[in-house]
């Protein structure tokens, strides 16, 4: 449930913050 999470837990889910993708994985 999104409302049970804190704001930063939610923000961390952004694809733009997932730098693993830089490596083509």
Q: Which residues bind other proteins (CB under 8 A)?
A: 2-3, 5-23, 25
Contact between residue 7 and residue 14 where contact means Cβ atoms under 8 Å apart: no
**Number of helical H runs and strand E runs in the chain:** 1, 0
Contact between residue 15 and residue 22 where contact means Cβ atoms under 8 Å apart: no
């Amino acid at each position: 449930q999104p409302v049970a999470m804190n704001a930063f837990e939610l923000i961390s889910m952004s694809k733009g913050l997932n730098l693993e993708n830089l490596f083509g994985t």
